[in-house]
Amino acid sequence: MSERTWQNFLTALEAIRANKLRSLLTALGIIFGVAAVIAMMAIGTGARQEILEQIKLVGVNNIVIEPVKEQKTQSTDDKEKTTHQQKFTPGLTLKDAESIAEVVSCARKISPEVVIETDFVYAGLRRSGKLVGTVPEYFDITNFSILEGMMFNRQQLAAGQQVCIIGKNIMNRFFAKEDPIGKYIKCGQVWLKITGVLNERLISKISADKLGIRDFNMDIYIPLRTMLLRYTNRSLVTKAAIESAQAAMNDDEGGDTKTPKNIHQLDRLVVQVEDAGLMEPAAEVISRLLQRRHNGVTDFEITIPELLLKQQQRTKDIFNLVLGLIAGISLLVGGIGIMNIMLASVLERIKEIGIRLSVGATKKDIVQQFVFEAMLISIAGGVAGILVGIALSVLISSFAGISTILTGWSVALSFGVAAVIGLAFGISPAKRAAQEDPINSLRHE
């Protein structure tokens, strides 16, 4: 910075000190503009994060793998020939889940499930329902939480103990007047000790009836090993399984359309990945892995929640647009305020401008002085606005109960834009001041 420019800077600084009230009024637009930007962006970022988390809880990061009958195309003449050439497949098994956990590095949680339909009996009451064998990760993936009691412990999981966690409606139906924790309920032919009750999962009656969504509150959950040991394990080769498979093969050869026996050990396998952006590559790796493990037989179906992914991206885009508009409008208002007051300041200081021009100041000096004044006021207002914005964000979060997230980029953006606005909106008043005629300015009263 040259000595002449430095003198212009000091002159601008002295003018601000000499007119503190006017400088404060000029800075108020930037102060409240920057504060509004920081506070609103903190609220918007918090709201966006909360909405995205809710979308994740629905299952946006979940890859669902379900067993299906292998689909193939063949002519009727080759039916008998191809029937005897079918490749062996073990079906969807617990080993598949373990392999996915080892190979897919972005897999955060894996939840294998076995579901059977059975009867629940307690104190003379009977009701049919679904018994779900699974692991603790299932409750995290599906956003279930414990209302009473506790989750399965390691010993219960490893030993396949006869324990269960019941849904809220099961408690209301069978244990309306007593505490279910520690009681035994008969599921099928096995008595299970209740160790916990799940919080209610709200599902509207319309969704349950018309959309076919089952009432998870009427399910009972047991450790997966308990299900495999005490109820059903379709991966075991037994005499009954061989006879059933032979009967199914005979039905197929005879042209019967009976549904073949389910040979899959698992009914469902959910893989939760770390980031929604990794869904497609993770699904491709899982598909290749299962194809290799199942001898090239496509007896599984991989589902990615594409609609939820699109909704997540749309939510991000909408919030980014809204936050950008908020920032732009707020700071634009502050900049217009600076320009208006600086223009008014030029009219008030015509005589001062004339004196400076008459003692040797050039038009460039006048321009620099007013630009420096605008920039100093903007920077000071930006710093004050940052402090006010942070305070507002904390107060809103504390007293209104609204989640706010302060980000460094919003603070830096607000401060940077404040400085740029001071320069941009200070140029026009500065040029107008420099165009004043020295003689007319000295005569001005």
Predicted pLDDT of residue 156: 92
Cα torsion 315, 318, 322, 328: sign: positive
Could you give the angle at which helices 3-18 and 20-55 cross, rounded to 10 degrees? Answer: 90
Give the other-Cβ count within 10 Å of 256's Cβ.
12
Predicted pLDDT of residue 193: 95
Give the other-Cβ count within 10 Å of 255's Cβ.
8
Cβ–Cβ < 8 Å for 335, 342: no
Query: 364: which residues sit within 8 A by CB, 6+ positions away?
Result: 434
Question: Between β-strands 125-134 and 220-223, what pairing exists: parallel, antiparallel or unpaired?
Answer: parallel
Instruction: Pick the closest to residue 162 from 227, 109, 111, 98 (CA basis).
Output: 227
**How far apart are the C-alpha atoms of 105 and 388, rounded to whole Å?**
44
Cβ–Cβ < 8 Å for 267, 300: no
Predicted pLDDT of residue 229: 93
Query: 380: which residues sit within 8 A by CB, 6+ positions away?
Result: 27
Query: 138: which residues sit within 8 A by CB, 6+ positions away?
Result: 111, 113, 132, 144, 221, 270
**How far apart are the C-alpha atoms of 163 and 185, rounded to whole Å?**
10
Predicted pLDDT of residue 422: 67
Question: For the segment 36-64, what is each residue's pLDDT rounded down to a tens digit?
Answer: 778 877 877 777 777 666 655 556 678 88
Give the pair of three-digit tokens for residue 233. Answer: 């394990």
Output DSSP code: residue 400. S
Predicted pLDDT of residue 365: 78
Instruction: Pick the closest to residue 11 from 363, 369, 426, 367 (CA basis).
Output: 369
Phi, psi dihedrals of residue 184, rounded to the nearest 5° = -115, 135
Cβ–Cβ < 8 Å for 42, 406: yes
Instruction: Pick the closest to residue 344 from 28, 26, 30, 15 (CA basis).
Output: 26
Give the other-Cβ count within 10 Å of 254's Cβ.
8
Low-confidence ranges of the chain (pLDDT < 50): 79-84, 206-212, 255-259
Output DSSP code: residue 58. I
**How far apart are the C-alpha atoms of 43 and 34, rounded to whole Å?**
14
Give the position of tokens 């299932």: 138
Give the position of tokens 């000071």: 380
Predicted pLDDT of residue 303: 83
Predicted pLDDT of residue 112: 94
Query: 29: which residues sit within 8 A by CB, 6+ positions away?
Result: 333, 334, 335, 336, 337, 338, 341, 381
Does this model's pTM top 0.85? no
Query: 388: which residues sit within 8 A by CB, 6+ positions away?
Result: 31, 32, 34, 35
Rounded to whole angstroms, what are the CA distances from 137 to 194, 214, 225, 406, 409? 19, 20, 14, 32, 35
**How far apart are the C-alpha atoms of 127 and 171, rounded to whole Å?**
12
Give the pair of three-digit tokens for residue 424. Answer: 């941009």
Question: For the segment 331-383, what is each residue's pLDDT rounded down to a tens digit?
Answer: 677 667 667 766 666 666 666 667 777 777 777 877 777 778 778 887 888 88
Strand partners, 185: 192
Phi, psi dihedrals of residue 81, rounded to the nearest 5° = -65, -45
